[in-house]
A and B are shown apart, each in its own frame.
Chain A
Amino acid sequence: MTETVHLRAAPELPGEPPPPAPSRRHLLGVSDLDRDDVERLLGTAASIARSLDREVKKLPALRGRLVVNLFYESSTRTLSSFDLAAKRLSADTMAVRSSGSSVDKGESLRDTSLTLGEYDPDVIVIRHPHIGAPQLVAAATRAHVVNAGDGKHQHPTQALLDLYTMREALGRLDGLHVAIVGDVLHSRVARSLIEALALVGARTTLVGPPTLVPRGIEHMGCEVSSEIETIGSADVVYVLRMQRERMLAGAAYVPSLREYAAEWGITAQRLRRGQLVMHPGPMNRGVEIDPQVADSDVSLITEQVRSGLVVRMAVLYDLLAGGPIDVARGLEVA
């Protein structure tokens, strides 16, 4: 087994008893990772991807392990991706959603975590509308915690799958120029990706209306522009969803979606030959991205979904097993 210790130790909350041994590892944000971690995870994902080309796709690596998907926000691709990732590694999975559970009855996240913790889950994957929820679960249980999106803060597995997708398509990450276009203010995808791109030596430019690009974000190591023409020098145009459900009534971030589409929507005319387009989904076709672009050869959107599965398998494997994944053996046993 190779050394797999990385990922931050559980935060010690004041007044809490010291966390019990053994040391726990989590993926709460991109800042938990260093460049070596990213390389290892992307390498594991690539090995897994090759195994998925075979007829029998299940690996035994996490047999007997329990992965709980605790989702406080609606999600299609992230939940299904984590669920399938765990199943492909032969883990047991359990999904707990906020609607139809005790959360509906006003149970606090801490109490829900304590309850789920009694099942001794190996991993809790959590999505929550508020920042810090994964840290709270990590402090309240013995499980490894994976952040599947906390508020507008972080979505680290999305950033990893985006890096994986870019490297598969372009063969490298170092020196790439990525333009992230749109509603950065409300986007955890953007925040994770800015950090991840900086980690692997890529250059990032944020493009969008000033009302949707928060002041001070350039301190994360990116450039900022409100001119859509600045996407011209980018290798990858990463389009963010216009998150209408997060816009407060009357806040008026943009005068209208129509105006947004006209000024910052990604159309074929605005793309240069050779540029690739990505989008974390779900798309608002005709708003932030023209349907023709989304369905064209330059789009990596379906590749992102496939990458999501193998990258999440790699993350679960790395947290629970570690070491080089033995794909051949997996095929025999499954």
Chain B
Amino acid sequence: MTLVWPDAPGDSLTIRGARVIDPSSDLDGAFDVTIEDGIIIAIDPAAESARGLVLAPAFVDPHVHLRVPGREDEETIASGTAAAAAGGYCAILAMPNTDPVVDSAAVLGALIERAREDAVIPTGFMASISKGLEGQELTEMAELARLGAAAFTDDGHPVVSAGLMQRALQYSAVTGRLLALHEEEPTLSRDGQMHDGAVSAELGLAGWPSVAESVMIGRDCDLAAYEQRPLHIMHLSARESVTAVRAAQARGVAVSAEVSPHHLCLTDDTVRTLDTNRKMNPPLRSEDDRLALLDGLRDGTIACIATDHAPHARHEKDAPFEEAPFGVTGLETAFAAIYTHLVEPGELDLGLVLERMSAGPARIFGLPVPRIEVGESANLVLLDLDATWTVTEGGFASKSVNSWLLGETLTGTVVKTIADGRVVHAA
């Protein structure tokens, strides 16, 4: 089983009067949803309550850095999954770029055992494509897959060698697991600190150009087509990348893609603040890129919103921009950020967002698709779209506070999260 967490019986409860939206089941209306022992047993028409309560399939995040093993000061399985529960998630997948790297059965096995004790929601672990993320030798993928690796990725690093990428694709026929790729041509991105454009020119920061991402996507889609294997591209950031993925899909390549909330909401203009919580990899790009990402999300080229939740110690982020590490946290703010920045202003439809945060990622990674149907295990998020809240350092379940939203007031709170039949978060 790919997703693990402690065994416990399911809960029984009824959620009354919320607007129930399940894009996968074409459901949108006021219902009372009754759960018994963790299973949805009744969905009955109801009078809609006055409050802006929405009940939707809980979210699935296939891109989370839990920092275990190695940086338990930044996040743990317990704190990271608690953050996910608070953000409305019923399942997450953790990245293997830890210390040591998740590249052996011993490390993966220890993580799975720990998650069976500590995870607040069902949690899966990806293993690395290459040993030590060094891009030289493949990990023992068959054994790792059998033990429960959810997918394979060298996230944080590209698979630089086209030859190794081809071997990994060929071998994925044995494991049946998806390869998830961080696309970055290192001789083009060099020591880039932000998007290569007018803002980097003005600030004097080394540029990480869009083309460093898209040329690798082009290469890997060609390899995937040649090997007739599926592929997943993580955290798209540029218009060129959306174009490359869309073109590959049009010619029948089984390539999927994800985008982060921060790439949907922000542009490189915000780096002028020199706030190190605006420093991510891939970098925030131009408004034109942001609009292309929104288009890709709407037309299905990008089927998944993933947070790339990347906790970092305060003292490491509290440094000059070039010295600070890449990445921001996102689990606890993803929905509210997107709702406030994109749904309320009319850039994205609420139903589309709910689908791209739940069924979209679940389908890509072969995880159970959260559905609001009688007989299904309850994987639900209850949202209050009338409530506002201010993002503060003290308000996080995560052990880290490197959020780009600190100080912002957002609309939309997670009132309750139910994961695999159990209430895991109640505000």
Which A residues have a C-beta under 8 Å from some C-beta of B? 11, 13-15, 108-110, 128-133, 135-136, 150-154, 186-188, 191, 214-217, 219-220, 248, 251
Contacts and interface: CB of A to CB of B under 8 A. Distances in A.
A216 B237 CA distance: 19
Contact of B318 (A110, A151, A216): A110
Given A128-B320, A151-B322, A220 B274 contact: no
B393 A15 contact: yes
What DSSP secondary structure best describes chain A's contact surface?
loop
B202 interface: yes
B319 A136 contact: yes
A109 B319 contact: yes
Contacts of A128: 320
Interface of B: 190-191, 196-205, 207, 273-277, 315, 318-323, 392-393, 401, 406-407
Contacts of B401: 15
A133 B320 contact: yes
Contacts of B191: 248
Contacts of B190: 248, 251
Question: Which of B275, B318, B393 is most buried by chain A, counting CB atoms within 10 A of its CB?
Answer: B318
A108 B204 contact: no
Given A153-B204, A188-B204, A215-B197, A130 B322 contact: yes
A216 B322 contact: no
Given A154-B204, A214-B200, A217-B202, 8 more contacts: A130-B322, A131-B203, A131-B205, A191-B202, A215-B207, A216-B199, A219-B201, A220-B201
A13 B401 CA distance: 13
B204 A110 contact: no
A251 B200 CA distance: 18
Contact of A153 (B196, B203, B319, B407): B203
A251 B186 CA distance: 12
Contact of A217 (B198, B205, B319, B323): B198
Contacts of A215: 196-198, 201, 207
The 5 closest A-B pairs by CB, nearest first: A152-B204, A216-B198, A14-B406, A130-B320, A214-B201
A95 B88 CA distance: 53
A48 B119 CA distance: 68
Contacts of B199: 216
A253 to B, nearest CB: 11
B77 to A, nearest CB: 26
Contacts of B274: 11, 131-132, 135
Contacts of A191: 202-204
Nearest to A194: B202
B332 to A, nearest CB: 15
Nearest to B316: A108
A11 B207 CA distance: 25
12 contacts: A14-B393, A14-B406, A108-B318, A130-B320, A130-B323, A131-B204, A131-B274, A153-B203, A214-B200, A215-B201, A219-B198, A251-B190
